[in-house]
């Protein structure tokens, strides 16, 4: 007799799939329901410009996954199902208006050489921070992978206390509250080094003056040097395909085109799901939602939602919006700073004040005149993504308005705004225009069309500002990955430890249910 379904996962994002794969390998019967025609959510690879050019439409950098708990537990299974990582020895650089650049390399002595050429006054501070992060990283990663609050997290903090002492622990706490501007002002002198670090805050929604940005900026900047940067060989979708295959090989199922319309609740516990088609499916043990928490009230029966005061999660604040520009190219951009051709990411702020202005404009609903750009050059590391000798460019435009204050719609302004972005890049790589074979843009509205979780184009699944981070994510009282209904669990970017492809929240839920 076939085993009945024990756990239903709603949503085949990286966290839903991670939870399902871990549970399936642990012997649980799982069913993943995905409303889209393909799994992956914000991890998707398509030949979106022209055939032969494989673009990661959204996430590309898989560093969080590579260093996370799912890879540690299932790495062998995933590799057996065709998932391979390729590492860049030159993770990222920033380019500046005077034609110079500053690059971080996996070889620390090479980074120091780069720094010595551009900002020798910051070399000592960089070395000190490298040493500190080397000491702190195991504890920071331990907390990131633990439920909050939890005994495991307290144990990690206790070990950290033994290793770094009270002052060391207070320094880490300070980082979690400090803005990037304040942190870089404390540590560096050159505006170039400060900007190099601050652009990482902009990957999340930490503009230079937002409390909490220092932690992420430090982790990613010095972490890039300590741990390098990795992408999926052939595209990030290979990770999704491998997770699906692990689930299926272990008796589970991933069903696409299956939108969950309602979570059924009996005797105050989640018992299953009703699909948009009307089909009802029961789960013996639990329902796991990989849905943005703000969408949770609509999934619960009205009476239950009211009783559990679920509606307050609608106050969970989004981050600002993102737009993607995908280019198929005849060659890599002709960067004025020629070495930039060899890096996985090229950042253009250019400086801290520019990034602060960008954020202020976007938050007020205005299109920033000088958008912050994360320019991915994946074919430098993985040439298999384009025909021989050709390249792709992955341009992430960070910090855009969720809604435009002048009443216009993203569908109306996106192409013209992409032209402005291209002009900005052209200033740092004159001649890029002539190398473009094809361009496809995905506006914030397109992001939400691809994935309902990316509400209004918020690529983060909810702001990471300290007021809704750590044990406060998504809202006070909803921590520990439990929704306010028994046997209903939550994972995904809207839960701790937030956005990114780490898969940690899925792993935490799988641990609870194993």
Shortest CB 239 distance to ligand FAD, Å? 10
Among residues 65 and 359, whose Cβ is nearest to ligand FAD?
A: 65
Shortest CB 49 distance to ligand FAD, Å? 16
Helix orientation angle between 69-80 and 237-249, rounded to the nearest 10 degrees: 80
Which residue(s) pair with 32 in the sheet?
A: 9, 254
- Interface residues toward ligand FAD, by CB under 6 A: 10-16, 33-36, 41-43, 58-61, 64, 259-260, 290-291, 322, 324, 396, 447, 451-454, 459, 461, 492-493, 499-501
How many C-alpha atoms does 441 have within 13 Å on its Cβ side? Answer: 20
Instruction: Round to whole Å and give the CA distance between 203 and 396.
Output: 9
Shortest CB 261 distance to ligand FAD, Å? 7
Among residues 127 and 261, whose Cβ is nearest to ligand FAD?
A: 261
Among residues 193 and 463, whose Cβ is nearest to ligand FAD?
A: 463
Shortest CB 95 distance to ligand FAD, Å? 19
Answer yes or no: are the C-beta atoms of 457 and 443 closer than 8 Å. yes
Shortest CB 292 distance to ligand FAD, Å? 7
Among residues 265 and 501, whose Cβ is nearest to ligand FAD?
A: 501
Which residue(s) pair with 393 in the sheet?
A: 327
CB contact burial 73-110 (16+ within 10 A = b; e otherwise) = bbeebbeebebebbebebbbbbbbeeeebbbbbbebee
287: three-class secondary structure by DSSP? strand
Among residues 43 and 115, whose Cβ is nearest to ligand FAD?
A: 43
Answer yes or no: are the C-beta atoms of 229 and 87 closer than 8 Å. yes
Joined tokens for residue 132: 């500190």
Question: How many C-beta neighbours within 10 Å does residue 8 have?
Answer: 25
Shortest CB 16 distance to ligand FAD, Å? 6
Joined tokens for residue 495: 């839960």
Instruction: Round to whole Å and give the CA distance between 229 and 91.
Output: 5
Answer yes or no: are the C-beta atoms of 260 and 299 closer than 8 Å. yes
Among residues 95 and 231, whose Cβ is nearest to ligand FAD?
A: 231
Shortest CB 11 distance to ligand FAD, Å? 3
Among residues 58 and 428, whose Cβ is nearest to ligand FAD?
A: 58
Among residues 119 and 202, whose Cβ is nearest to ligand FAD?
A: 202
Shortest CB 58 distance to ligand FAD, Å? 4
Answer yes or no: are the C-beta atoms of 9 and 16 closer than 8 Å. yes
The DSSP bridge pattern shows strands 55-56 and 286-289 to be unpaired
């Amino acid at each position: 007799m076939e085993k009945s379904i024990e756990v239903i996962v709603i949503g085949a994002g990286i966290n839903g799939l991670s939870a399902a794969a871990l549970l399936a390998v642990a012997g649980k019967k799982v069913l993943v329901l995905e409303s889209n025609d393909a799994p992956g959510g914000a991890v998707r690879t398509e030949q979106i410009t022209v055939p032969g050019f494989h673009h990661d439409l959204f996430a590309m950098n898989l560093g969080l996954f590579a260093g996370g708990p799912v890879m540690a537990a299932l790495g062998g299974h995933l590799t057996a199902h065709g998932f391979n990582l390729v590492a860049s020895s030159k993770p990222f650089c920033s380019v500046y208006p005077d034609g110079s650049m500053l690059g971080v390399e996996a070889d620390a002595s090479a980074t120091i050489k780069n720094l010595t050429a551009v900002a020798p006054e910051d070399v000592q501070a960089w070395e000190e921070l490298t040493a500190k992060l080397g000491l702190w990283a195991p504890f920071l990663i331990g907390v990131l992978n633990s439920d909050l609050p939890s005994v495991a997290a307290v144990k990690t903090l206790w070990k950290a206390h033994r290793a770094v002492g009270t002052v060391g622990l207070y320094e880490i706490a300070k980082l979690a509250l400090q803005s990037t501007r304040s942190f870089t002002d404390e540590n560096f002198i050159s505006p170039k080094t400060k900007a190099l670090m601050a652009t990482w805050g902009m990957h999340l929604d930490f503009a230079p003056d937002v409390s909490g940005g220092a932690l992420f900026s430090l982790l990613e900047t010095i972490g890039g040097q300590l741990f390098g940067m990795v992408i999926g060989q052939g595209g990030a979708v290979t990770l999704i395909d491998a997770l699906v295959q692990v689930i299926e090989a272990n008796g589970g199922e991933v069903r696409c085109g299956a939108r969950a319309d309602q979570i059924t609740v009996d005797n105050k516990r989640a018992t299953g799901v009703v699909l948009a088609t009307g089909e009802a499916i029961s789960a013996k043990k639990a329902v796991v939602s990989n849905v943005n928490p703000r969408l949770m009230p609509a999934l619960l029966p009205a009476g239950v939602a009211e009783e559990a005061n679920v509606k307050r999660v609608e106050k969970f604040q989004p981050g600002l919006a993102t737009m993607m520009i995908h280019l198929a190219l005849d060659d890599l951009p002709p960067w004025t700073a020629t070495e930039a051709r060899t890096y996985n990411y090229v950042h253009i702020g250019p400086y801290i004040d520019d990034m602060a202005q960008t954020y202020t404009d976007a938050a007020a609903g205005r299109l920033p005149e000088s958008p912050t750009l994360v320019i991915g050059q994946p074919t430098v590391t993985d040439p298999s993504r384009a025909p021989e000798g050709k390249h792709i460019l992955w341009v992430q435009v960070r910090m855009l308005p969720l809604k435009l204050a002048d009443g216009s719609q993203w569908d109306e302004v996106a192409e013209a705004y992409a032209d402005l972005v291209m002009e900005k890049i052209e200033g740092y790589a004159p001649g890029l225009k002539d190398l473009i074979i094809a361009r496809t843009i995905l506006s914030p509205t397109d992001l939400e069309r691809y994935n309902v979780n990316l509400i209004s184009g918020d690529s983060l699944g909810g702001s990471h500002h300290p007021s809704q981070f750590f044990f406060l994510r998504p809202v006070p009282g909803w921590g520990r990955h439990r929704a306010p209904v028994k046997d209903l669990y939550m994972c995904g970017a809207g839960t701790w430890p937030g956005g990114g492809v780490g898969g940690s929240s899925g792993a935490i839920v799988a641990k609870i249910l194993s």
